[in-house]
Amino acid sequence: KLLSSSSTNSNGIAEDQPIPLNFNENPLGIAPRAQQAINKALPQVWRYPDKARSDLMAGLSQSLSLSNSHLIYGNGSSEVLKMALDALAQTNCQLVMPDPSYGVIIDYAQARGIPVVKVKLDSQWQTDLAKMQAKVEAHKGPSIVYLCNPNNPTGVLLPQSPLNQWLDKASSQLSFIIDEAYVEYVNQPEFVSAVARIQQGQSNIVVCRTFSKVHALAGLRVGYGIAHPTVINAMRAQASIDNANLLGCVAATASLASPEWLELSLKSNHQAKALVYQQLEKLGLDYLPSETNFIFHKVTGDNQQYMERMEQAGILVGRPFNHGEGWNRLSIGTPTQMQYFCKTLAKFRQQGWI
Ligand code: PLP
């Protein structure tokens, strides 16, 4: 029997549904205030979303100490990534990115005919900034560098001081798209968001963020980009008109005003991660300490078979990643869900499957 929604999640995973630990969603669901805002706005959905969107952008600009002209709304941060690439693309440019990482930008680049240079993570699963820089320097033409911080699927932060040194090298031939989809989960005090550079006026960086993760609005598609106003204007020229939805905007605004819900989500994530760490250590399975709501861990053997067996046990776990043979990405559910996962993992060990 699977875990019941009533014991784990008021927003509801039904008893007969598998536990979704594969898309890095927030298992607590949306903030109660966000739900109230949606209910209140529902009779208004015949209206275009302009006001709801400008209220959200005003709230964001206030919370980030930036002007509205530094921000752009996206239909999820996936769309912000596309707008950023479209705005930064120049003749003869290349896209340089770590591998494995979050891959949708590869499709966008390929559709535009931009060559993609993938740089394998180093032996510690860290983004290899030195090798990426070498690829940029070897290219005769502009480079767009995609960085995901913390990285997906590893959950690891980029090394701060080499990153700073590279980001200091501002040039019209070199721009950065920095994906901070999981930034709210980061615990390390030495982490500095690239938003600080935009606050200081740097103009060759776009930061992409989302309400799909800790804010739990993945189904409503709310993301945003942060950059210098000239870059935002260039992105706006690539955006489709009215890409926002009214319910997403009001829910996001209410979520921004629900710090207690975010705190609860982070606390739950922290507790649930600790349970998984403990079990992985007990079973002697390597893992990467995570700054996100997922853990990249060793499974021993074939990942595909592991995924199928987990599904048979009622749990959906992450997909295969380049260079990640024998490893799996596990999204963190509620502590109760993760207890069930831990028990299942122990049973797999008894069967000799992991
Ligand atoms: N960036 C990263 C690193 C992600 O992991 C995801 C989703 O999993 C996204 C961006 C896209 O999120 P969304 O389009 O829902 O904002």
pLDDT digits (tens, 9 = 90+) for 13-49: 556 799 999 999 999 999 999 999 999 999 999 999 9
Q: Domain locations in the chain?
A: 5-30+259-351, 32-256
Q: Which of 23, 25, 99, 102 to mutate to test the pocket of ligand 1 (most atoms within 8 A of CB)?
A: 102
* CA 170–ligand 1 middle distance (angstroms): 26
- Spatial neighbors of 20 by CB under 8 A, at least 6 apart, are 13, 316, 331, 333
5-30+259-351 has which fold? Aspartate Aminotransferase, domain 1 (3.90.1150)
| Whether residue 78 has its Cβ less than 6 Å from ligand 1 | yes
- Spatial neighbors of 93 by CB under 8 A, at least 6 apart, are 114, 141, 142, 143, 144
For the cut 60, the answer to whether the pLDDT of residue 137 exceeds it is yes
| Whether residue 181 has its Cβ less than 6 Å from ligand 1 | yes
Both tokens of 226, joined, read 């942060």
Euclidean distance between CA atoms 340 and 289, whole angstroms: 21
What confidence category does residue 116 fall into, taking pLDDT thresholds of 50, 70 and 90? Answer: very high
Residue 6 has a pLDDT of 44
* CA 319–ligand 1 middle distance (angstroms): 15
Both tokens of 62, joined, read 């206030």
Question: Closest ligand 1 atom to the C-alpha of 24?
Answer: 8
Model confidence pTM above 0.90: yes
Residue 14 has a pLDDT of 56
From residue 144, alpha-carbon distances to 102, 110, 166, 190, 226 in Å are 15, 14, 13, 26, 16
**Buried b / exposed e along 325-336 (16+ C-beta atoms within 10 A):** eebbbbbbbbbb
Q: Which of 75, 82, 107, 212 to mutate to test the pocket of ligand 1 (most atoms within 8 A of CB)?
A: 212
Q: How many helices (H) and strands (E) does the chain have?
A: 13, 11
* CA 177–ligand 1 middle distance (angstroms): 13
Residue 15 has a pLDDT of 65
Residue 171 has a pLDDT of 83
**ipTM given for this complex:** 0.99
| Whether residue 22 has its Cβ less than 6 Å from ligand 1 | no
- CATH of 32-256, picked from 2.60.40.1180, 3.40.640.10, 1.10.10.2840, 3.40.50.300, is 3.40.640.10
